[in-house]
């Protein structure tokens, strides 16, 4: 069975990543409720979208960010300041928001570990031991994706830097996320 007016593939992708306007989203959902062919295609696009989301680690290297940018992802990078609160606004037309957890002394770093947890809680949402870091930039690159809006929006990222001689320092960043 086929559809006389199939939903375009790029529209299905936009639907699954949350980039459609509310009226367009409602139109897609209405069509899917009555069209088995488009529902099957939508399920395929959803599976691919979820797989891609799962492949992107929460902490990125500079090379990975540049590779994703070269592949056409819409990426915005935002600096953050240790010790303060950073308002993080995630616009609809963005694929990936990269938060530069900066102000770190990584000149002698042997290892960097990152923990992300909700404000006021001790349980970690994300724990990355041996995270990639950029010694020259003095930063760790934290990836925020649109589907993270299901997690608590107010987070603390703690970056623990261990030097060659075993000394360790922990720096905290408070991130208040707002999704369009």
44 and 67 co-located in one domain: no
Residue 144 tokens read as 């925020």
Cα separations in angstroms, 74 against 26, 83, 87: 25, 28, 20
pLDDT at 3: 92
Helices (H) and strands (E) in the chain, counts: 4, 9
Average pLDDT in the 56-62 region? 90
We report the CATH number of the domain holding residue 91 as: 2.60.40.1930
24 and 107 co-located in one domain: no
Calpha distance 130→171 (Å, rounded): 16
75 and 21 co-located in one domain: no
44 and 68 co-located in one domain: no
Residue 65 domain flag: yes
84 and 165 co-located in one domain: yes
pLDDT at 115: 95
Cα separations in angstroms, 56 against 52, 85, 96, 150: 7, 25, 10, 17
26 and 70 co-located in one domain: no
Express each pLDDT in 135-179 by its tens digit.
Answer: 888 999 999 876 566 667 789 999 999 999 999 999 999 998 887
**What pTM was estimated for this model as a whole?**
0.69
Is the per-residue pLDDT at 180 higher than 70? Answer: no
Contact 153, 96 (CB under 8 A): no
Average pLDDT in the 26-32 region? 94
Calpha distance 31→13 (Å, rounded): 15
Domain that holds residue 150: 59-179
Express each pLDDT in 63-113 by its tens digit.
Answer: 999 998 988 888 999 999 898 888 888 887 888 899 999 999 999 999 999
């Amino acid at each position: 069975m086929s559809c006389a007016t199939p939903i375009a593939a790029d529209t299905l992708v936009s639907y699954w990543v949350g980039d459609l306007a509310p009226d367009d989203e409602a139109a897609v959902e209405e069509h899917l409720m009555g069209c088995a062919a488009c529902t099957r295609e939508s399920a395929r696009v959803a599976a691919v979208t979820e797989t891609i989301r799962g492949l992107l680690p929460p902490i990125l290297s500079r090379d990975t960010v540049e590779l994703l940018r070269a592949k056409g992802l819409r990426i915005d990078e935002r600096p953050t300041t240790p010790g303060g609160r950073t308002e993080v606004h995630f616009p609809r037309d963005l694929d990936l928001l990269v938060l530069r957890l900066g102000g770190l002394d990584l000149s002698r770093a042997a290892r960097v570990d990152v923990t992300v947890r909700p404000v006021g809680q001790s349980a970690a949402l994300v724990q990355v031991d041996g995270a990639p870091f950029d010694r020259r930039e003095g930063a760790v690159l934290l990836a925020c994706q649109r589907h993270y809006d299901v997690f608590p929006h107010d987070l603390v990222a703690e970056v623990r830097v261990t030097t060659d001689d075993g000394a360790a320092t922990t720096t905290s960043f408070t991130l208040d996320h707002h999704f369009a």
